[in-house]
Amino acid sequence: MMHDVMSIIYAVIFFILLLAVPGFLTLWNLANCFFKKPKGEKILAPVGVIGGGIMYCLMQSIFDYGGDWYEPIYSFQTHYSLSPRYPVVYFALFLGIVALFVLLYVKAENMPPLVSAMCISLLVLFNIYQLFYMIQLVDRLNIQHMFLYLYQINLLILSGRIIRDHMKRTVEMFRKDEKKIKVNSFFYKLFGKMDTLSKYSAFVFVVFFFVVAILEIIFVLTGQGIDAPVKTFTDTADWTFSQQTPPPPLEYDGHYLCTVAAGGHKKIVKPLRYGTRIDHTIIVNRQLCIANAFEDVIKERTPRFHRFIRGVYDRYGYPVSNLITSPWKADIVYIMMKPLEWIFLLVLYLVDTRPEKRIARQYIYRG
């Protein structure tokens, strides 16, 4: 009964964190689009952007990806959705987030026109990139990707409204300044002509390509390549824009301890090496070796009892392995198996003259 109550409580907390709060922020963002003066935007914006980003990173640490496209992974895992080999691209995206907060908190009249246009350009580039990222995830939609979609929709709504409001205030500022001051300067005359949104948009459009050109030069100078933003999508496997062919998946079925050794977080399950099981490559940890060495001893000493144990294991072990679909679930099974591991080890040291040698020879790699 208590277990059921706790399950309900956890489910409610999960619903509030992952659905109710983001849903509320989304509705608030949409409502602010129709208010002449947005309500609570300077408070809710950092909550949505930073809080949503932290929540998504936490979800990524739970629903972990298996590795880069060239790494062999298990069939229940996926490769990285973006290539990690282009850090300068991700720094440029970070500048887009910085630009969002600059446009939100710095008044238009306090910003130089060129800085204002560059911030808008960086934010537009950020939004273009995240639209392509949403398409990248379409082929393998799951719960954390749906949460990311909600997060990105909020960013699109928020940034679109911020750009619109900032451009309106900038145009109003140009109109007022043109009436008050007359200065014989080319640049003043240029900005003085931007008394409509369409004219200012044309200026931002020109600056946009200037910013793109600067970023491309930086990509080349840092060795990332002129097509680095494109390669963050294409140098992957398993996703919409992926162009790389991954190696064959590692096999794990038939033994849930193999799944634990493969799918858990390395700091917890402590994988040791590759091994071979029934002509398939697996990842081996000490818990797996001890369990298999114990089975080896039982098979030698009491074959009939071993057949019974093996039958029970085959009946229930495989269904359990199908439930271990993420690293944190593998971690839980690994921890739950610890008492049995200690019992197996105790038996080995009681009945075997060379227990560590028997443990070491389990699942020898024959690749």
**Alpha helix locations (H) across 33-142?**
41-46, 52-62, 87-105, 113-136
**Residue 218 and residue 42 in contact, taking contact as beta carbons nearer than 8 Å:** no
The pairing of strands 280-285 and 271-277 is antiparallel
**Neighbour count for residue 268 (Cβ, 10 Å):** 15
**Residue 104 and residue 41 in contact, taking contact as beta carbons nearer than 8 Å:** yes
Q: What is the pLDDT of residues 319-329, one digit of tens each?
A: 677 677 677 78
Please report which confidence band the pLDDT of residue 1 belongs to, taking 50, 70 and 90 as the band edges. Answer: very low
Amino acid at 23: G
289 φ, ψ (degrees, to nearest 5): -65, -40
Helix (H) or strand (E) holding 160: helix 143-180
pLDDT of residue 63: 56
User: Picking from 28-32, 216-220, 290-294, which range would have the lowest pLDDT averaged per residue?
Assistant: 28-32
Two tokens, residue 159: 């940034």
Q: What is the 3-state secondary structure (H, E, C) of 3-26?
A: HHHHHHHHHHHHHHHHHHHHHHHH
State yes or no: pLDDT of 4 exceeds 60.
no
- Cα angle 363-345-352, degrees, rounded to a multiple of 5: 80
**Residue 367 and residue 274 in contact, taking contact as beta carbons nearer than 8 Å:** yes
